[in-house]
Amino acid sequence: MKPVVRSKEVAETRSGPFFIKDLVGPHLGSTQGVRVGICTIEPGQQTTFHQQPAEEVFYVLAGQGNFRVGNERHDFAAGDCLYVFAHVGHQIVNTGSENLQYLYVVVPPIMASEAVVIKE
């Protein structure tokens, strides 16, 4: 077990218009009950509108955006904390001119591939 993860030593993975950096989780041989990482979304880009069988918490490190949860939309900026319950559709949009970066916490620690895109 390696109880300290150095972010600069973890590779980023491009996933469409954003970058994912998983820091801890069962798939990495670290935590068993939670997945934590950092996501970076480029200006003008967004995640898909999706839902998954896990709760998510997002702590905004840099940038600003809009958080869609179900039919509601909420503006946010660096320093804000966002959350969504399992099975609730949500989407994050970078509305700023800089990269949007946030720390994500997923419980239980499902993988992004388990999310279901919601067709509109």
In the predicted structure, residue 1 carries a pLDDT above the cut 80 = no
- The answer, as to whether pTM is greater than 0.95, is no
* pLDDT given for residue 112 in this prediction: 84
* pLDDT given for residue 17 in this prediction: 81
Model confidence at 52, pLDDT cuts 50, 70, 90, reads very high
**What mean pLDDT comes out for the span 55-80?**
98
Characterize the bridge pairing of strands 50-51 and 116-117. antiparallel
In the predicted structure, residue 115 carries a pLDDT above the cut 80 = yes
In the predicted structure, residue 78 carries a pLDDT above the cut 80 = yes
Cβ–Cβ under 8 Å, residues 49 and 66: no
Burial 9-43 (b: 16+ CB within 10 A, else e): eeeeeeeeebbbbbbbbeebebeeebbbbbbbbee
Which domains are delineated in the chain?
Answer: 7-117 (2.60.120.10)
